[in-house]
Amino acid sequence: MDLSLKPAATAVDAVRGTLAEHFGDRLQSGTSFCEQHANTATGRGTQAPDMVVWPETTQEVSLIARTCWEQGVPLIPFGAGSSLEGQLNAPLGGVSVDMSRMDSLREVLAEDLIAVVGPGLTRKRLNEELRHTGLQFPIDPGADASIGGMCATRASGTNAVRYGTMAENVLALEVVMADGTIIRTGTRAVKSAAGYDLTRLMIGSEATLGIITEITLRLRGIPEETIGGVAGFPDLQSACAAVIIMVQIGLDIGRVELLDPVQIRACNAYSGLTLPEVPTLFFECGGTDASARDTARIFTEIAEEEGALSIEWTAAREARNKLWQARHDSYWAALALRPGCKGLVSDACVPISKLAESIAEARADLDARGLTGTILGHVGDGNFHVVLMTDPEDMDEAAQVADFLKGISRRAQAVGGTCTGEHGIGQGKITSLADEAGASLAVMRAVKAALDPRNILNPGKLFGDLA
Amino acid sequence: MDLSLKPAATAVDAVRGTLAEHFGDRLQSGTSFCEQHANTATGRGTQAPDMVVWPETTQEVSLIARTCWEQGVPLIPFGAGSSLEGQLNAPLGGVSVDMSRMDSLREVLAEDLIAVVGPGLTRKRLNEELRHTGLQFPIDPGADASIGGMCATRASGTNAVRYGTMAENVLALEVVMADGTIIRTGTRAVKSAAGYDLTRLMIGSEATLGIITEITLRLRGIPEETIGGVAGFPDLQSACAAVIIMVQIGLDIGRVELLDPVQIRACNAYSGLTLPEVPTLFFECGGTDASARDTARIFTEIAEEEGALSIEWTAAREARNKLWQARHDSYWAALALRPGCKGLVSDACVPISKLAESIAEARADLDARGLTGTILGHVGDGNFHVVLMTDPEDMDEAAQVADFLKGISRRAQAVGGTCTGEHGIGQGKITSLADEAGASLAVMRAVKAALDPRNILNPGKLFGDLA
């Protein structure tokens, strides 16, 4: 990391002075504020910004950007702090722009299945506020992330097999560019062929091209009936084979998640489940009463053909919620297997035909290295995670973990997959992105240089040399 | 149009000389070849390129780009010639790059629901070649477009309400950049959070950022059962109201198309149907036998509640195909209403709650101007088309048509929609794009300037000043 790129202290002070004048005590420079606004969710190290500011309007975000632009000082938007690849770290210092006060549900257009939200609104609160409408925003990365952060990292999660990722569920954005210019991308129409798809360019750009200040989301009707199921399998291969068949025949899967025996053990202990410790699919389907039942019936047939040891179904809301809450808590459940440790999570996504072998290789590598980890996956899209419980003080183990994670990415890329299905690049996968992108990395850099020529937007992420 | 931007004749000759050496009689400069490779599908004027070249490999496309880059000569990829907004015209001359020889189905990964194709492969031939696999590529813009062209214009069509547009159905691209560099975007994983979404940046860029030379597509299983229906309504409002309810409750619509009474009259005459001349929905749903029937039952209930005059269902393949072939032929059916005329097609897409009023306004404006036109729409996504039958020799009528089309775009934008749902900007909607994009147009231009600084890729499209 080339620290000569750090802005001069005088530039940082100039930004602080200008912003303090406008923001008053909505600007803070204390160490604890600053450290809370860097990476906190994982075992990755913390690099704190120089100050934190809480804007309340797009105009205020524009003022922050203009001020930073003039002085060449970095700025890093902060949502809910749940990113996993160090996206919030400030290797060159600068300004953390905390979006938590821009968290309103600004508009619901129920007839058009559209909601307009501030970037700081979290997905759980959005769905609470939508409850009376019969509509939902189904993208569900597990953590109660902010919608702005979910856009920035192109998040997805358990519902993506049915509803897609953030890329398929954002219609329009308001974005503050590096120099403070405010633009709008997209429209309220569900599709458009009008020029470059700047919405999708911004989604997944990890705040290196612009700061998202408003999001127009697609909503979905809550299905009339939802049925949940759990199926245990004798081995990984048969669980994956069942999912492959479901995807191939176009079965209307709501979500389908794989948990390996170690993860099941963790969930049993953490969430009070009593599942057999075997490779297990959590499954959910929704629709009309008849279609949901039909889907469940076909799931059962396929699972039985692939040798499922047990299949249980429930349409009861409470039982389903308990299961999915356990799935969502699986990161914490995994960490509880080794108290006092920190978590690091891999995020490969492979063509579904390669999933079983990819997971088996990951397990073999884990065991060969003597690392503690659980495996779980959004198997409907070939995305799986290894949750590693690591002792950050143990340098030998840290090196093993780093090698293990690189191996996961490399093997995924070798079978035509990607080093990240939904967590993004951040600081953690810069070399993996370079490997994966090849000659297209230069195109990404050209876009970055064109839209942020002073490299003030979240520097040190995606690309290796802080550019 | 600033024709001083035309390359010097010596530059064009230099390109011709270099390419002739490599391509032999796969390079043609004759007037008829050149005119066939400009706009031909609509009443819009024709601007022919200086030469046409037929590459067979990505390396050959790269050679063409490098040659044009060195001499500053425009190049314009040509797929099937079915674009509707003048995307293929060559206002500054240059090289038409005919992709028809790069038309192979290169790979089918049935387990992963993936096909890898050359850009010149047409969608109908792709589906013929896939037939034995039980898989399909469902994106269906009506015309037998090339897959490369469908990427370039972000095409969609009748199946988009269920399967999305090209943006949701392309996993990866190989692209030749302006200077001849070959890049790959995306992977074979169904989702990725690895850096900027260059795949989606290229899709819809109308060949102004790069030339697509290979496409990795998502395929879908052909549903076990498909049921088709036709429902006549007393008025537009009730037909649209029925569709709005279906979308809101999340009914698993395959496709739902609206045809206005004039279009029904045209289809009856052209395709030998005998439908009542009233606002009519063509509907299709697929799934398991039980779920398709359930969807059809719910459609019937909703349509009846909204006052449908008649509803007929069929699961017979032949009857369904006749109906959808008539829908696909509706452009030609409309033209046949006024023999000897040319067609121009509007393409607004609005939030679905605005659809009925948008269509009614379009019809009122048509009638007030004394223009001949039919209206049909992919109503599930709020996208509707007016097919105008125009006499290009009649200058007064041409002015009326131009005003009418501008009004359609302007009204769509005023209700939060877009001037183009699926046909793109080309030359036809340059001012509409500028209106719609506002401050984001400068961002589009910055991306264009960064990736094609010599402005050789399809100049004169999207932006007003040939840049």
pLDDT in tens, A331-381: 899 999 998 888 899 999 999 999 999 999 999 999 999 999 999 999 899
Cβ count within 10 A of residue B274? 5
A342-345 β-sheet, strand order: A310-314, A225-232, A280-287, A255-259, A373-378, A383-390, A342-345
How many whole angstroms separate alpha carbon B144 and alpha carbon B100?
Answer: 13
CA dist B3 → A97, A407, B92, B93, B459 (Å): 47, 55, 7, 10, 12
Whether residue B189 and residue A382 make contact (CB cut-off 8 A), yes or no, is yes
Whether residue B200 and residue A200 make contact (CB cut-off 8 A), yes or no, is yes
Whether residue B177 and residue A443 make contact (CB cut-off 8 A), yes or no, is yes
* Residue reference for tokens 């206005």: B260
Chain A residue with CA closest to B210: the answer is A443
Whether residue A250 and residue B436 make contact (CB cut-off 8 A), yes or no, is no
* Positions in chain B whose pLDDT score sits under 70: 1-3, 466-467
Domains of chain A, first to last: 3-100 (3.30.43.10), 102-221 (3.30.465.10), 225-331 (3.30.70.2190), 336-421 (3.30.70.2740)
Whether residue A423 and residue B250 make contact (CB cut-off 8 A), yes or no, is no
CB burial class (10 A; 0-12, 13-18, 19+) of residue B300? middle
Question: Nearest 5 degrees, angle CA A452-CA A455-CA A456?
Answer: 100
How many whole angstroms separate alpha carbon B345 and alpha carbon B362?
Answer: 12
Spell out which residues of chain A touch residue B220, defining contact as CB-CB under 8 Å: 250
How many whole angstroms separate alpha carbon B43 and alpha carbon A269?
Answer: 70
Count residue pairs from A and B with Cβ separation < 8 A: 299
CA dist B318 → A372, B225, B226, B322, B325 (Å): 59, 14, 12, 6, 10
CA distance A80 to chain B (A): 18
Of B165, B220, B443, the CB nearest to A177: B443
CA distance A99 to chain B (A): 22
CA dist A117 → A130, A204, A214, B31, B452 (Å): 12, 18, 6, 55, 35
Whether residue B443 and residue A198 make contact (CB cut-off 8 A), yes or no, is yes
A445 residue type, one letter: R
CB burial class (10 A; 0-12, 13-18, 19+) of residue B225? middle
Q: Residue B127: its pLDDT value, please?
A: 97
Spell out which residues of chain B touch residue A252, defining contact as CB-CB under 8 Å: 252, 287, 291
Q: Let me know: does B212 contact B177? Beta carbons within 8 Å.
A: no
pLDDT at residue A467 is higher than 60:
no
Ramachandran quadrant class, A177 (left: phi over 0; alpha: psi -120 to 50; beta: rest): beta
CA distance A237 to chain B (A): 14
Whether residue A447 and residue B449 make contact (CB cut-off 8 A), yes or no, is no
CA distance A332 to chain B (A): 23
Chain B residue with CA closest to A219: the answer is B248
Among candidate residues A376, A372, A462, A375, the one with its CA nearest the CA of residue A426: A462
Whether residue A190 and residue B113 make contact (CB cut-off 8 A), yes or no, is no
Whether residue B204 and residue A187 make contact (CB cut-off 8 A), yes or no, is no
> According to DSSP H, which parts of B310-415 are helical?
317-328, 330-336, 355-369, 395-414
Percent of chain B, pLDDT > 90? 81
| pLDDT tens digits along A212-270 | 999 999 999 888 889 999 999 999 999 999 998 888 888 888 899 999 999 999 999 99
Q: Let me know: does B186 contact B199? Beta carbons within 8 Å.
A: yes
Spell out which residues of chain A touch residue B201, defining contact as CB-CB under 8 Å: 196-197, 200-201, 447
Spell out which residues of chain B touch residue A184, defining contact as CB-CB under 8 Å: 438-440
Average pLDDT over residues A306-316: 91
User: Mean pLDDT across chain A, nearest whole number?
Assistant: 94
Q: Let me know: does B98 contact B64? Beta carbons within 8 Å.
A: no
Whether residue B189 and residue A433 make contact (CB cut-off 8 A), yes or no, is no
Chain B residue with CA closest to A431: the answer is B194
Helix (H) or strand (E) holding A168: helix A166-169
- A68-72, A166-170, A462-466, B2-6 — which is least confidently predicted? B2-6
- Which residues have CB under 8 Å from B256's CB, separation 6+? B161, B243, B246, B281, B282, B283, B284, B378, B379, B380
Q: Let me know: does B104 contact B250? Beta carbons within 8 Å.
A: no
Q: Let me know: does A82 contact A74? Beta carbons within 8 Å.
A: no
Spell out which residues of chain A touch residue B214, defining contact as CB-CB under 8 Å: none
CA distance A291 to chain B (A): 5
Of B198, B203, B418, the CB nearest to A187: B418
Q: What is the DSSP string of B75-125?
A: EEEESSS--SSSTT--TT--EEEEGGGS--EEEEEGGGTEEEE-TT-BHHH
Spell out which residues of chain A touch residue B184, defining contact as CB-CB under 8 Å: 438-440
Q: Let me know: does A81 contact A88? Beta carbons within 8 Å.
A: yes
Please report the ipTM that was assigned to this predicted complex.
Answer: 0.96
Spell out which residues of chain B touch residue A201, defining contact as CB-CB under 8 Å: 196-197, 200-201, 447
CA distance A401 to chain B (A): 21
* Residue reference for tokens 């002073």: A454
Chain B residue with CA closest to A180: the answer is B439
The pairing of strands B372-378 and B383-390 is: antiparallel
Helix (H) or strand (E) holding B126: helix B123-130
Of A205, A287, A441, the CB nearest to B291: A287
CA distance B352 to chain A (A): 6
Q: Residue A44: its pLDDT value, please?
A: 80
Q: Let me know: does A233 contact A239? Beta carbons within 8 Å.
A: yes
Q: Residue A2: its pLDDT value, please?
A: 64
A397 residue type, one letter: E
Spell out which residues of chain B touch residue A443, defining contact as CB-CB under 8 Å: 177, 183, 198, 451
Q: Residue A1: its pLDDT value, please?
A: 53
How many whole angstroms separate alpha carbon B466 and alpha carbon A16?
Answer: 43
Q: Let me know: does B154 contact B131? Beta carbons within 8 Å.
A: no
Whether residue B200 and residue A201 make contact (CB cut-off 8 A), yes or no, is yes
Among candidate residues B140, B142, B192, B144, the one with its CA nearest the CA of residue B171: B192
Q: Let me know: does B204 contact B433? Beta carbons within 8 Å.
A: no
* Residue reference for tokens 């080794």: A338
Q: Residue B290: its pLDDT value, please?
A: 85
Spell out which residues of chain B touch residue A291, defining contact as CB-CB under 8 Å: 252, 287-288, 290-291, 294-295
Whether residue A187 and residue B440 make contact (CB cut-off 8 A), yes or no, is no
- And the tokens for B69? 């880059």
SS3 B249: coil
Q: Let me know: does A116 contact A71? Beta carbons within 8 Å.
A: no
Round to the nearest angstrom and report the end-to-end CA distance of chain A. Answer: 11
DSSP label at residue A234: S
Q: What is the DSSP string of A389-431?
A: EE-TT-HHHHHHHHHHHHHHHHHHHHTT-BS-SSS--TTTTHH
Whether residue A189 and residue B349 make contact (CB cut-off 8 A), yes or no, is yes
